């Protein structure tokens, strides 16, 4: 049954507009991830200490 669902949805095509929307959302998400990962971070040991204090 799951293979039938897989086959069905793989045969469905997105409109060009919807595909562009998803591609833009992915690009925005990747950019935001890069920005977050570029921010300074505390050492992992400090993260653990802060976590266990809670």
Residues 6+ apart with CB under 8 A from 22: 14
Query: For 42-52, how does the pLDDT look when each residue is reduced to its tens digit (9 = 90+)?
Result: 999 999 999 99
Query: Tokens for 43?
Result: 């050492």
Is the C-alpha dihedral spanning 18, 20, 26, 29 positive or negative? negative
Tallying the residues shown for the chain, one arrives at 54
* Structural domain boundaries in the chain: 1-53
Query: For 10-33, how does the pLDDT look when each residue is reduced to its tens digit (9 = 90+)?
Result: 999 999 999 999 999 999 999 999
């Amino acid at each position: 049954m799951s293979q039938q669902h897989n086959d069905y949805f793989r045969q469905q095509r997105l409109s060009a507009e919807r595909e562009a929307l998803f591609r833009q959302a992915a690009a925005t998400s990747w950019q935001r991830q890069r920005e977050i990962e570029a921010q300074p971070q505390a050492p992992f040991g400090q993260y653990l200490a802060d976590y266990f204090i809670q």
